[in-house]
Chain A
Amino acid sequence: MTAYAMGIDFGSTTAKVVILDESGEMAASAISQKGAVSDEGVRMALADALQQAGIEQSAIRKVVSTGYGRRMLDIADRSITEITCHARGAVALVPQARVVLDIGGQDSKVIAIDANGLVARYAMNDRCAAGTGKFLEVLARAVNIELERMGSVALEATETVGITSMCATFAETEVISLLAEGHSRPVVLAAVHQAIANRTVGLVGRVGKRDPMVMTGGVSHNIAAVHYLEKALATSLIVPPGAQTAGALGAALFALDDLRAEAAEPGKRIADEDDGVLAEPLECKPACEKKGLFAKLFRS
């Protein structure tokens, strides 16, 4: 029976799950958006991933969690931060990457990668959620546009105006003022994306600008965000397929490492080919029934 490794990125706005088989091939990649560290969201992403892979949960032998909710997952063998996981995932997608730019729901990260593909330095938004996906989400609401459409509409802008506030609440006030002054929605949305780009440039400066730069995280799907970032950074950004699940992929790769390390240890098996039972069965102790999200999940 094939053994699988799973990475779960339990993020602030979405849950992402990646499953790899023991050869490292991707068996599934799923995303669910159900709100902040949502129980339902992670259930859905997981169920979707298992269905995609066509496996039962018992085939998953190692799990690594990341994201804001990483410690909430009892199923995880260990948790690793988004920085390390996004770096690992991005390098797997784009091996030559030297800087990873991840704009997620609650934080922005710029990670410098060394020649060995490991984290050399990183910078995060230190003071608040300014310049993050949440900033876009709040302002999409103010402009009354779906989050998915705001990027394409912003690129229709024919003039430039500025938003100075990086606090989402104050920026919302500015957006309302700009609309009240008669500026079109594309123009206002372009200003919103420029504000995010300007904020991110500062973070890039702190780790050092180097090419190639890879963008991961949910905001990488926003074409206006990518456009204005490229303009502000005066470089091209690589947005690989699977950019949004790069963190979950990184986590899955760490889980795969664990799976292989366990297999390499004398006297241990990854899996029993006959019955699929682990060499060291992972039994659920009674205490976990009351605390773990996954305790409920895997019984349902």
Chain B
Amino acid sequence: MSAVTEKEPVVKKANRLQVTKLNNKMVNQYWEDLFHAKEQGKLVCWTEGIQINPILQAADIAWCHGEAAAALMAARKESAVPQAHMETLGYDRELCSYARTHIGCGILNQSSTVEAQTLLDVDGRTLGSKIPPPDMIISAYPFCSTGQQWDNEVYRTYGKKVPIFNMSLSWTWGNKPSAKYMSGPEYRENVAFLKKQLQDCIRFIEGITGKPYDWDRLTEIMTYTKKAAELRLEAMQLCKARPSPASFFEWTNSIAPVNFLPGGPEIVDYFAQKKAEIEARIAQGVGSVPVEKYRLWWDGIMNWNKIGWLSDKFAGYDACMVAGRYTHMGFWQEPQVIDVRDPLDGMAQNYLTCPISISAPQVIEKIIEHCEFYEIDGLILHAARTCRAFSYPQFMIADAVGKRLGLPVAMFEGDMVDETFYKDEIVNSRVEAMLEAIDASRARMR
């Protein structure tokens, strides 16, 4: 007899939504269109931060959203080269990895040396090598000083010759009676201030294009955007079901249509299909993970190079990551306030209530609402090492949400793009300890 046992590992994988393939198709089409924008006579804007793409789309301007570009490069394992190049130029690896990736592409693209082109254009197929240079830059970052410096570096990279427009997004304090979530005089002042800047931005665009702005086109685009956002929220809320038919990772995969893809019937159709697939899963009792023993909340930006891997990892733990701050509290998260005939006010309100534009007390209250609605058992906090704007309130979130709802919390460090910050065994220990704490808590209840 031997005391050795052979345990065949049970491989459980996340049950991915079919509609995600359509998302990938739309994303690929968007980038192909951008790569060829100049051939079609379009101006190209590089922009970071909030989703100002409807404003650009109405002026027939193509856009490159810096974070989206860096995230996609991370997902395609193409971000290491521009990041390494930036380090040789003195950009510390603790700086925003989105910015290091995006600026790195710009610098390598600007360089005519064979070495630079070879570095960036591995096999002539990398995304970074195909992004057209900017004709204008619009910086619109909420609560992130790196965002402004990032755009300033892009401006310098292109010889300080590209027109740049800087937007300032006011911080909303949660502890002032005058600035409650979406209400109060200070909040309204902030909205008016940003709306004025959006109007100025449109004048800036008119100055570059030499054409009057097409407000009817903006109304049309925002009609699609608003409808897509409403369908998205409806589909998200269906995930209250047990087992949850879709996970945070599926919503992460659906950021593009509400972040940087053009507003049109395609994004409405996408979320209608997604909602229908979710409804079908609920009817059939199909969950996002094979066995749903734990329902979790993800706090933090996504680790873009590990979406599929992480979704399978948590499926292996019988855990469904039902919702998260990044996906459920941002990206046209308040569509009901958008008046499509006069959309700037509603757009400003959505920009100002994203989870890095409101203070920790408001973030915490919103997270508690979500955790109660989705019946969450525990919180996973992914502290993105190079995004302090997102990770700064995480100890407060862990403390306040954990104590108020009596939920266990696991925190680990990683990054949105720079995978060198991620250590698998650290994640395993923390996640498993949290799941054991949930089991212990359930044992107490019995």
User: Which A residues lie at the B interface, using CB under 8 A?
Assistant: 57-58, 60, 63, 68, 74-75, 77, 80-84, 107, 114, 116, 118-119, 121-122, 124, 126-127, 206, 277-278, 281-285, 287-288, 292, 294-295, 298-299
Q: Counting CB contacts under 8 A, is B429 at the interface?
A: yes
- The reply to whether B6 and A284 form a contact with Cβ atoms under 8 Å apart is yes
Q: Counting CB contacts under 8 A, is B233 at the interface?
A: no
Q: Counting CB contacts under 8 A, is B269 at the interface?
A: no
A277–B383 Cα distance when bound, in Å, is 50
From known contacts A81-B432, A127-B413, A206-B395, infer whether A116 and B444 are also in contact, taking CB-CB under 8 Å.
Answer: yes
11 A-B residue contacts at CB 8 Å?
A74-B4, A74-B6, A75-B3, A84-B433, A84-B437, A107-B429, A124-B429, A281-B1, A282-B5, A283-B2, A284-B6
- The reply to whether B4 and A294 form a contact with Cβ atoms under 8 Å apart is yes
Q: Counting CB contacts under 8 A, is B114 at the interface?
A: no
- The reply to whether A118 and B443 form a contact with Cβ atoms under 8 Å apart is yes
Within 8 A of A (CB), among B415-436: 425, 429-430, 432-433, 436
Shortest Cβ distance from B172 into chain A, in angstroms?
A: 27
- The reply to whether B413 and A119 form a contact with Cβ atoms under 8 Å apart is no
- The reply to whether A126 and B411 form a contact with Cβ atoms under 8 Å apart is yes
A298–B6 Cα distance when bound, in Å, is 13
A273–B7 Cα distance when bound, in Å, is 27
A287–B9 Cα distance when bound, in Å, is 12
Residue from A114, A126, A282, A284 in contact with B412 in the complex, judged by beta carbons closer than 8 Å: A126
- The reply to whether B3 and A298 form a contact with Cβ atoms under 8 Å apart is yes
Nearest 3 A-B pairs (CB), nearest first? A288-B6, A83-B433, A285-B6
Shortest Cβ distance from A187 into chain B, in angstroms?
A: 32
- The reply to whether B4 and A282 form a contact with Cβ atoms under 8 Å apart is yes
Q: Which residues of B are found within 8 Å of A114, using beta-carbon distances?
A: 444
A216–B436 Cα distance when bound, in Å, is 20
Shortest Cβ distance from A59 into chain B, in angstroms?
A: 9
Shortest Cβ distance from A154 into chain B, in angstroms?
A: 29
Within 8 A of A (CB), among B1-57: 1-7
- The reply to whether A75 and B4 form a contact with Cβ atoms under 8 Å apart is yes
Q: Counting CB contacts under 8 A, is B89 at the interface?
A: no
Q: Which residues of A are found within 8 Å of B3, using beta-carbon distances?
A: 57-58, 60, 63, 75, 282, 294, 298
A116–B443 Cα distance when bound, in Å, is 11
- The reply to whether A121 and B402 form a contact with Cβ atoms under 8 Å apart is yes
User: Which B residues lie at the A interface, using CB under 8 A?
Assistant: 1-7, 383, 395, 398-399, 402, 408, 411-413, 425, 429-430, 432-433, 436-437, 440-441, 443-444
From known contacts A60-B3, A295-B4, infer whether A126 and B436 are also in contact, taking CB-CB under 8 Å.
Answer: no
Nearest opposing residue in chain A for B9, CB measure: A71
Shortest Cβ distance from B27 into chain A, in angstroms?
A: 33
Shortest Cβ distance from A143 into chain B, in angstroms?
A: 28
Shortest Cβ distance from B415 into chain A, in angstroms?
A: 12
- The reply to whether B412 and A119 form a contact with Cβ atoms under 8 Å apart is no
Q: Which residues of B are found within 8 Å of A83, using beta-carbon distances?
A: 429, 433, 436-437
A101–B22 Cα distance when bound, in Å, is 50
Residue from A77, A119, A292 in contact with B436 in the complex, judged by beta carbons closer than 8 Å: A119
Nearest opposing residue in chain B for A285, CB measure: B6
A288–B440 Cα distance when bound, in Å, is 32
From known contacts A118-B440, A118-B444, A119-B436, infer whether A82 and B429 are also in contact, taking CB-CB under 8 Å.
Answer: yes
Nearest opposing residue in chain A for B381, CB measure: A126
A119–B440 Cα distance when bound, in Å, is 7
- The reply to whether A68 and B425 form a contact with Cβ atoms under 8 Å apart is yes
Shortest Cβ distance from B105 into chain A, in angstroms?
A: 29
A96–B432 Cα distance when bound, in Å, is 26
Q: Which residues of A are found within 8 Å of B412, using beta-carbon distances?
A: 126
Q: Which residues of B are found within 8 Å of A292, using beta-carbon distances?
A: 4, 6
